[in-house]
Amino acid sequence: MQHAVLSPDALGPTVCVGEILVEIVATSIGEGFRTAQPLVGPYPSGAPAIFIDQCGRLGARAAMIGAVGDDDFGPLNLERLRADGVDISAIAIDGTLPTGSAFVRYRADGNRDFVYNIATSAAARFGWSEAVEALVQQAGHLHVMGTALSMPSAREVIERALPIIRQRGGTLSVDPNLRKELRLDAAVERQFAELVAGADLLLPSGDELERAAGVTGEAAALRRLFERGVKEIVLKRGAAGASCFGQDGSRIDAAAFVVDELDPTGAGDCFGGAYVACRRLGLGRETALTYAAAAGARNVTIRGPMEGAGTRAELDAFIATTPRR
């Protein structure tokens, strides 16, 4: 029994809704951007875009809803997603505002500082359209990233799309991914709680598990989330690996791969994209967890948030040649 909590890939593509950005990365270690410093980029980015790109790279059906500006950064993202097998038919091109951006700098302790331009960029300038309607009507799965909930446009599309996809027999996965730079009001918190409760699959990292459950302690959080109706929880533990928990009390642990970390941004998004793609393609939990761990680990070895997203063949080679903890 493979615990098939997600709809099969044949039902329709996995759709992700949210921000599409370019990322500029500081090459020096320190705090923030208050002094001049060397930068590299631009790289295609945005947590939902990284997630869906990894889905496409693995050969699963994948599609993105969002917007870019009519500038050089727009094609940078569109061409990458298209090349990696993502349906971009529902991505709008805004002629008045620039493509969204994220500047990131790493601190000595491994944490990151971000400076975002999302709310006043093209990233937030999309909504329900004929192209979005056409895509949603043939979708098989919806994936929601917590970062997208900072945008009213994304929240409205998610709210409208979910019942349509559910009616088709589709499923829902949620990655809390709540960044400290993105403040959520009470209405957004309610929507987040509703999405978590309705998730077939939840993909938290670290303390996001407790945040999603509203209680402290891993065991208590798992129990509360399953009581609310979540069917499967995959907890990303970084260098400590990952764990998959089922409603039936089952647990599978995966050891982390040993790599030299260059750029950790996007690791969790690649992990999630690989796991969802594998599960929808019919792979079992243990196999999917291995591919997900490999996708996240491989991505951190290359600078740029989605530059290390791997194909099935690339991940197979990585798994075969990379030691685990």
Q: Which residue has the tokens 């980029």?
A: 41
Q: In what order do the strands lie in the sheet with 251-254?
A: 86-94, 62-69, 14-17, 141-145, 171-175, 201-202, 232-236, 242-246, 251-254
In the prediction, which pLDDT does 179 show?
Answer: 58
In the prediction, which pLDDT does 211 show?
Answer: 86
Residue 307: what residue type?
E
Where the chain has pLDDT below 70, the residues are 1-3, 178-184
CA gap 109, 106 in Å, rounded: 8
Start-end of H helices in 39-184 = 47-57, 73-83, 130-136, 152-167
Which class is 17-321 in CATH? alpha beta
In the prediction, which pLDDT does 2 show?
Answer: 47
In the prediction, which pLDDT does 129 show?
Answer: 97
CA gap 274, 297 in Å, rounded: 12
In the prediction, which pLDDT does 57 show?
Answer: 97
CA gap 4, 116 in Å, rounded: 37
pTM: 0.94
Domain map (residue ranges) of the chain? 17-321
Provide the 10 A C-beta neighbour count for residue 200: 19
